Amino acid sequence: MSKPILYIVEDSIAAGAMYKAYFEKKGYEVSHFVDGFSAMSAIKNKVPDVIIQDVCLPDVSGIDVLKFAKKIDKKTEVVVITSNSSIDVAVTAMREGAYDFIEKPFENEILLSAVQSVLEQSISSGTQTVSTNLPGAKVKSDIDFIGDSISVQTVKRILNSAARSKASVFVTGESGTGKEVCAEYLHDCSNRHDKSFVAINCAAIPADLFESEFFGHVKGAFSGAISDRKGAVEMANGGTLFLDELCEMALPLQAKLLRFLQTGLYSRVGSSDVVSSDVRVVCATNRNPQKEVADGRFREDLYYRLNVIPVNLPPLREREEDIIILAHFFLQEKCKSANKLFKGFSKNTEKAFLSYDWPGNIRELQNVIENCVVMNEGDTVELDMLPQFKREALKSNVSTAKKSLLSEIEAELTDEIIPLWQVEKEAIESAVHICNGNIPLAAVKLGISASTLYRKIKNWEELA
């Protein structure tokens, strides 16, 4: 059986040589390219089993190399690496077909695991015949993100990569976007899945009890401590500790958390014994952590200690293609628990769901559907089954959108004849604005392909 062929496209000679030597020791046939054109020429002559692709190159973007490789052979798998932590870069890479996305700096084992996962997938699908020592298959999580949107799939890929290490993950996003589900998914995908997942809501615990909740206490440590008690750190030993609403934590407690993260050591309240705990920390907040640092409410050193792998969960209004999928999932879930027979939603209900802004995100959608199921009977969820306040909000939202569209049309209906291209340009710009800058969504609303819309916008920018 032949060795798996690996191309490394990395403009840093030192880094590329290090990766090459590492993978050659692992039994791979490796070629290193320092620019995009050299890599594309090699890909055209011989398609490798896997490509490790840096985004920033001296001649072309790594995304262009990714597109070229996929054009030559759609089965070619690409692991993208970059020092740019922007979620937009990850979304673009995943949209163009990247298998994985890894942010620098990273351990060689993480990169190896990503490459081996590619080969595992190829072997299981019958498209790969190379022989190599592959690690055990990644555990399939019982906790999953529901949705087909690019942003959700990108988040899942980032979490799958992060699951291979112990690196801290910092999840940000509006309330109700599923930050705890994100942490549970990461735990279930990691090699810690058979240990405890312990969640602490930092905003719900009084400051004077937080240290006890976190590190535990011994009997007699304070009034009411009638017995020894384990803290979250001890209960999560070997597993994952999820710290929700982290930015609500008081500054003195932040210092104690930082000390624990640096050493892995702690003492129960009322005890001088020092013990250790091995935990994977995942934290979350609906605030802007960088602003909290700038305003002095959050320690900068703790932020950088925790923000190793940043993950930002998109609000539901930016995941329109997922709304109905989530609605059906919650409907089945709630009908099962309430012993109801609803099978789906009327077209008007679905339209209303898609028109609403969902300020409470997924949690709000879940609550609305639970209310419908509990308070009504039938096969189909009709619009008049929605809670009254919600129904009025949905109608108002639809009405506002219609009025906005009518006013734009009326503004264009003047005696002056406007050139067709200008009308088209204004209509497209208006659609993009209404969709909050989401060009693929605007394309769907306009009834054209996203590629056509991108091309038109690019042409106008070149003419400007």
Give the CATH number of the domain where residue 111 resides. 3.40.50.2300
The answer on 278 and 187 residing in a single domain is yes
452 in any annotated domain: yes
Q: Quick one: 404 and 419 in the same domain?
A: no
Q: What are the respective helix, strand and coil percentages of the chain, to the nearest 5?
A: 50, 15, 35
Q: Supply angle C-alpha 165, 169, 175, rounded to 5.
A: 150
Q: What's this model's pTM, rounded to 2 decimal places? A: 0.63
If asked whether residues 377 and 442 sit together in one domain, one would say no
Report the C-alpha gap between 55 and 154 in whole angstroms: 16
- Residue at 83 is within a domain: yes
Q: Do residues 401 and 449 both lie within one domain?
A: no
Distances (CA, A) of 408 to 39, 139, 284, 293, 428: 49, 52, 41, 43, 12
Phi, psi (deg, nearest 5) at residue 280: -95, 120
pLDDT per position in the chain (464 positions), as tens?
A: 578 899 999 998 988 899 999 999 988 999 999 999 999 999 999 999 999 999 888 888 889 999 999 888 888 889 988 876 555 677 777 778 888 878 777 778 778 888 887 887 665 544 443 333 332 233 344 456 788 888 888 888 788 878 877 888 999 999 999 999 999 999 998 889 999 999 999 988 888 888 899 999 998 888 888 889 899 999 999 999 999 999 999 898 899 999 999 999 999 999 999 999 999 999 999 999 999 999 999 999 999 899 888 888 999 998 988 999 999 999 999 999 999 999 999 998 998 898 888 999 999 999 999 999 999 999 999 988 887 555 555 556 655 655 565 565 555 554 556 677 777 888 888 888 888 888 877 877 777 777 777 878 877 776 65
The rounded distance, in Å, linking the Cα atoms of 326 and 143 is 14
For the chain, the domain total comes to: 4
Token pair belonging to 5: 């062929």
∠ CA 450-452-453, rounded to 5°: 65
Maximum distance among all alpha carbons in the chain?
86
Same domain, 173 and 306: yes
Are residues 388 and 297 located together in one domain of the fold? no
Q: Is residue 133 part of a domain?
A: no
Q: Across-strand partners of 82?
A: 103
Task: For 202, list phi and psi in degrees, rounded to 5.
Answer: -65, -25
- Measured distance CA(77)–CA(99) in Å, rounded: 6
421 found inside a domain: yes
Q: What is the domain range of residue 196? A: 164-312
Do 255 and 175 lie in one domain? The reply is yes
Q: Which residues pair with 51 in a beta bridge?
A: 7, 78
Answer yes or no: is 157 within a domain: no
Do 184 and 293 lie in a common domain?
yes
Q: How far apart are CA 124 and CA 188, in angstroms?
A: 22
Pair (421, 446) in one structural domain: yes
What is the CATH classification number for the domain harbouring 388?
1.10.8.60
The label of the residue with tokens 């087909």 reads: 148
Q: Of 214, 229, 147, whose CA–CA distance to 181 is shortest? A: 147
Whether residue 300 sits in one domain with residue 193: yes
Task: Pick the last residue of a domain from 98, 125, 152.
Answer: 125
Domain-terminating residue out of 394, 413, 432:
413
For residue 460, being part of any structural domain is answered with: yes
Does residue 303 form part of some domain?
Answer: yes
